[in-house]
């Protein structure tokens, strides 16, 4: 059973000031989770979490994580600019991108960020664009399929990311000749794994790669970035990852592989987005219509603009009808938004309590890749983001879009003249 971190009474109070729909984040949960991660990897002296900005690009959220000791993982010019605006520079930034435009490398270089190269050809591109910094990371793609036991988790061989092993060895040699003094490696092999085994298995692959690189090139890797991939239990029946067990699993393979090969000082980095934020955000929305045709429908004042994962991936997000948590789930609904797209559905054939117009619904686990993936199809406007602070008060951390925002990029006659909204 999933429970919401916000109650009906709280939502009724919040909506006196901020109308639905809105994304709401739980500061207390975010901070506690960040501390658990840090504690799980405290055995590694150089450990650092670089929060994946793409997951929740909000400066208020980033500042909370920064206060808990996190850096930022950026993948675009605007994410770098957002970080710079918060005073984040240098080794507090990991720049992990692909098909990277020249101006983005220049910005990362000027900020002194760690640059993580996605491709062998980017060595020459970076050399011609900015010059080669003294510290560089390279992303590894082992190819084939990635499995845990008998379960295939993902297919790196079909992924556009990373160097092959042969390219990595060649690239390290070239980078050393170009003056690089500190080397890091990085890999991301599976997304949203609800398994305590993923990180230790990935770590062993990268630790063994680091040993091989040292043997082949004479270069001792200084940093190993395990990237993201630790998932969250979107479904009530899913078992939550235990970050303490994950940290100890990585520690075991660290001591098995790296320590005997004279690499006990390697720093471990992570780039977690979903794990850091998803359970600590929700989309709060109101039922505004019902429809009775071949199926039973409940229409919300939110739509896929506010949360596109169900429409895009068929992703499951649990739904709680506030105030009816203890009522039987004996009504089957498609829960929809208002877009002119039939896939604009938050749930299909979902068993829920009987929903009345005016009921508030909480759509769970939207704290990462929720608001961030929004768009403006049908001219729909993105909702506000609110922060439920530790003291119980609520702060607006991003206002809702207005029609004036939507039209602001047009230069056409008097379209904005006398606009009141």
pLDDT tens per residue across all 421 residues of the chain: 799 999 999 999 999 999 999 999 999 999 999 999 999 999 999 999 999 999 999 999 999 999 999 999 999 999 999 999 999 999 999 999 999 999 999 999 999 999 999 999 999 999 999 999 999 999 999 987 776 664 545 677 778 899 999 999 999 999 999 999 999 999 988 888 888 999 999 999 999 999 999 999 999 999 999 999 999 999 999 999 999 999 999 999 999 999 999 999 999 999 999 999 999 999 999 999 999 999 999 999 999 999 999 999 999 999 999 999 999 999 999 999 999 999 999 999 999 999 999 999 999 999 999 999 999 999 999 999 999 999 999 999 999 999 999 988 887 767 666 666 6
Contact partners, residue 54, CB within 8 Å, separation at least 6? 73, 75, 76, 79, 273, 369, 372
Domains: count for the chain = 2
Q: Looking at the structure, tell me whether residues 75 and 223 fall in a common domain.
A: yes
Quick one: 185 and 284 in the same domain? no
Residue at token pair 């979490």:
49
CATH number at residue 344: 2.40.37.10
Task: Determine which helix (DSSP H) or strand (DSSP E) holds 283, and give its type and residue range.
Answer: strand 281-292
Q: Are 64 and 85 in contact (CB under 8 A)?
A: no
Q: Is residue 164 a part of any domain in this protein? A: yes
Same domain, 365 and 388: yes
Judgement on whether residues 44 and 157 belong to the same structural domain of the protein: yes
Task: Write down the pLDDT at residue 151.
Answer: 57
Could you tell me if residue 421 is inside a domain?
A: no
Of 212, 246, 278, the residue that ends a domain is 278
Question: Same domain, yes or no, for 328 and 262?
Answer: no
The CA-based dihedral angle spanning residues 17, 23, 26, 29, taken in that order and rounded to the nearest 10 degrees:
170
Structure confidence at residue 421 (pLDDT) = 67
Q: pTM for the whole thing?
A: 0.95
CATH number at residue 62: 3.20.20.10
Q: Are residues 316 and 392 in the same domain?
A: yes
On whether both 303 and 246 belong to a single domain, the answer is: no
- Please check whether residue 327 lies inside any domain of the structure: yes
Domain stops at, among 232, 252, 278: 278
Last residue of a domain, one of 250, 278, 306: 278
Catalytically annotated residue among 70, 74, 329, 340: 340
Is 340 labeled as catalytic in the residue annotation?
A: yes
Residues 181 and 264 reside in one and the same domain:
yes
Looking at the domain assignment, is residue 222 inside a domain? yes
Q: Which domain holds residue 330?
A: 280-407
110 with 125, same domain: the answer is yes
The pLDDT value recorded for residue 408 is: 87
In a domain, 17, yes or no: no
- If 0-12 CB within 10 Å is exposed, 13-18 middle and 19+ buried, where does residue 389 land? middle
pLDDT computed for residue 189 by the predictor: 86
Establish if 205 belongs to a structural domain.
Answer: yes
CA 369/CA 377 separation, integer angstroms? 17
For 43-80, letters b (16+ CB in 10 Å) and e give: ebeebbbbbbbbbbbbbbbbebbbebebbbbbbbbebb
Per-residue pLDDT, 419: 65
C-beta separation of 209 from 165 below 8 A = yes
Domain membership flag for residue 14: no
Same domain, yes or no, for 287 and 252?
A: no
My answer on whether 263 and 305 are in the same domain is: no
Nearest 10 degrees: CA dihedral of 241, 5, 369, 102? -90
Assess whether 379 and 246 both reside in one domain. no
Judge whether 185 lies within some domain.
Answer: yes
Q: SS3 letters for 118-138? A: CCCCHHHHHHHHCCCCCEEEE
> How big is the chain, counted in residues?
421
């Amino acid at each position: 059973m999933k429970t919401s971190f916000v109650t009906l009474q709280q939502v009724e109070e919040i909506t006196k000031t901020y109308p639905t729909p809105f994304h709401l984040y739980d500061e207390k949960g975010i901070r506690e989770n960040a501390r658990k991660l840090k504690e799980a990897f405290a055995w590694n002296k150089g450990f650092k979490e670089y929060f994946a900005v793409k997951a929740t690009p909000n400066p208020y959220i980033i500042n909370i994580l920064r206060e808990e000791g996190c850096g930022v993982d950026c993948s675009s010019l605007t994410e770098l600019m957002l970080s710079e605006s918060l005073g984040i520079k240098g080794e507090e930034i990991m720049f992990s991108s692909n098909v990277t435009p020249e101006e983005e490398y220049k910005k990362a270089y000027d900020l002194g960020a760690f640059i993580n190269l996605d491709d062998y050809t980017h060595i020459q591109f970076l050399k011609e664009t900015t010059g080669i910094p003294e510290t560089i990371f390279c992303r590894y793609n082992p190819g084939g399929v990635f499995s845990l036991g008998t379960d295939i988790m993902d297919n790196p061989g079909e992924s556009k990311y990373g160097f092959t092993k042969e390219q990595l060895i060649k690239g390290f040699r070239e980078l050393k000749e170009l003056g690089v003094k500190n080397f890091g490696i990085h890999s991301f092999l599976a997304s949203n794994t609800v398994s305590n085994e993923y990180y230790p298995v990935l770590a062993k692959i990268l630790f063994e790669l680091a040993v091989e690189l040292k043997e082949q090139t004479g270069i001792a890797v200084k940093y190993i970035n395990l990237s993201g991939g630790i998932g969250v239990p979107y479904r009530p029946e899913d078992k939550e990852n235990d970050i303490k067990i994950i940290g100890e699993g990585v520690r075991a393979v660290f001591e098995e592989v790296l320590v005997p090969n004279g690499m006990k000082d390697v720093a471990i980095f992570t780039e977690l987005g979903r794990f850091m934020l998803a359970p600590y955000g929700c989309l709060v929305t109101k039922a505004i219509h019902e429809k009775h045709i071949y199926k039973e429908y409940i229409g919300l004042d939110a739509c896929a603009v506010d949360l596109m994962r169900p429409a895009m991936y068929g992703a499951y997000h649990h739904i709680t009808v506030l105030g009816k948590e203890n009522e039987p789930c004996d009504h089957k609904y498609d829960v929809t938004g208002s877009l002119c797209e039939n896939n604009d559905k938050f749930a299909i054939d979902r068993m829920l309590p009987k929903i009345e117009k005016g009921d508030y619904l909480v759509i769970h686990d939207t704290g990462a890749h929720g608001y961030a993936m929004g768009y403006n199809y049908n001219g729909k406007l993105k909702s506000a983001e609110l922060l439920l602070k530790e003291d119980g008060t609520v702060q607006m951390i991003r206002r809702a879009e207005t029609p004036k925002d939507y039209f602001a990029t047009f230069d056409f006659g008097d379209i904005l003249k006398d606009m009141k909204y």
